[in-house]
Amino acid sequence: MKLVKSLLLGSAAGLIAVSGAQAADLPVKAKAVEYVKICSLYGAGFYYIPGTDTCIKLGGYLRAEVALNTNSVYNGQFSSNNGARNRLTNYYTMRAREDLNIDTRTATEYGVVRTFFDATFSWTTGNYAGTGSATGATAYSGTLALNTSGATPALVGSAINPTDGGASGGSLGVYYAFIQFAGFTMGKAVSQFDAPWTNYPGNNYDGLVGGSGTVTGVNQFTYTADFGQGVTASFSAEDATAYYQAGNINMSSAGAATFLNGAYGANAIGGSRSPNLVGMVRVDQAWGLFQASVAAHDNHVAYYGATEATGHPDDKWGWAVQLALSIKNIPTGAGDVINISGVYTDGATRYNFQNLAGSTYAMFGSSGVAYQSVGVGFAPDTVYITGSSQETVKTWGFRGAYTHNWDPYWNTAIYGAYAQAQYGSLAKTTLCGVGGAGGALGGTPGLTGCNPDFAIGQVGVITRWTPVKNLTFSADLTWTHLDQKYSGVIGAGPFGPAAKPAATYELKDQDTLTLLLRAQRNW
């Protein structure tokens, strides 16, 4: 027993000695685990980044959608193969998209420092660009490989949308990436000219005319002054090259062979010289919102001809003004709202025919007196001819919507838009001559009315169902009407990639419908 007891005591002493030696190598006290803490300074969803005084919020959505009767989710059957409305265009487009946004904010002695980033990851049906030719390739926009055996060329490579990188690829879009500090906004954000609802007074459809819309952000350097009581004013220098160049057209090459494709000459935009200059004043209160915006746009063109020696017209500044109004808490129901805006532009067309809507229309349809009918419209910023100054194109338009909430789960919006483009005397004389005689188009056989002015009218209805919080299903139907001013029955064609034959075509107004179905889960 004495021997066993001695062995146990000796073992215990050895273990204590070893433990003591190991303990000497460890911290006296382990650091407490630092858990993520809620940050209540900036609203729900913010958390402190561990070890910092910066708050972060993650958000986004996942969307699945299909657009019917269109070759693009952005607009209707307006131009090129899409406007041809034949066997060489898709009649639906599908998309899956994930959006991720990251919002960080830090309180400092100068105020809050904020960064915001929003990116989308998308896979979209390719835009079909068929030729219909027995000797040419017919393919989606993308990588195209032809056989070389001497037989009829065929698509033997991948038929994909190149921006989506293949069947298992996708595309990345950076919508917003900006810093806000001491009243300044620096980076890619919604234009200060835009109404808060950008392209969407009540709709999901992207292609409304009648106002500005930089829903995917524009690079800018902005200062915003906050006067309290919901009154703010901003001055901004914004990148003109991404969204705001509708075209500076040398009409010297205009002719009957090209105008039915919506082309009145050669686009001769020069390099950028000045950002767009934007001013905005907004009143945002419980009753709604009022905003007035102005913008100046520099039209800087290249040369009259192929070399510097041919000379060039001087720069021409265009401008735009927009008024926007939102009325909330109207008597028809809780959460119901009316959003309206109106715009006038002179040499700054993209503030009316916004980027996602486009400003070129070449739409085909049926005819009772000719092979088919066609309607055309084109709205650049300026036009000129060799030796002349730039002449601005003037436009005006409006858009609006009324949204009614039937109950917490269903709402419906009725919306509409209108935009009109008006050319000056130089353009009309160059195209149509004087009194319908002369000009690039005036002598076209069968042309009984020649006027490049046109208008776009749109009406739509959307219904949304939200069965559970942040999950919404919607159906959005849009009708677009092209009111063009040409008339007559002329011989024309072929029309580039649209596979239209040389035949007689009636110049006529056109209509199209687009249905957008969407499921979206916000988080």
- Taking only the tens place, the pLDDT of each residue in 253-262 is 888 877 887 7
Please report, rounded to a whole number, the percentage of residues in the chain having pLDDT higher than 70.
Answer: 85
> Does 29 score more than 60 pLDDT?
no
* Partners of residue 138 on adjacent β-strands: none
Q: What is the mean pLDDT of the chain?
A: 87
Judge whether 239 and 220 are in contact, CB under 8 Å.
Answer: yes
Q: Using omega within 30 degrees of 0 as the cis cutoff, is the peptide bond preceding 162 cis? A: no
Taking residues 487-498, report their average pLDDT: 83
Biggest CA pair distance of the chain? 131
Q: Locate the domains of the chain by residue range.
A: 53-126+161-522
Tell me the whole-structure pTM to 2 decimals.
0.87
* Partners of residue 415 on adjacent β-strands: 401, 460
CA-CA distance, 364 to 362, in Å (whole number)?
Answer: 7
Confidence of residue 155 (pLDDT cuts 50, 70, 90): very low
Judge whether 106 and 54 are in contact, CB under 8 Å.
Answer: yes
CA-CA distance, 37 to 171, in Å (whole number)?
Answer: 35
CATH class of 53-126+161-522: mainly beta
> Does 380 score more than 90 pLDDT?
yes
pLDDT at 436: 61
Q: What is the pLDDT of residues 295-337, one digit of tens each?
A: 999 999 999 999 999 999 999 999 999 999 999 989 999 999 9
Please report, rounded to a whole number, the percentage of residues in the chain having pLDDT higher than 90.
Answer: 70
pLDDT at 133: 55
Which amino acid is residue 320, in one-letter code? A
The candidate with the shortest Cα–Cα distance to 495, out of 159, 259, 299, is 259
Which letter does DSSP use for residue 301 in this model?
A: B
pLDDT at 312: 96
Judge whether 153 and 138 are in contact, CB under 8 Å.
Answer: no
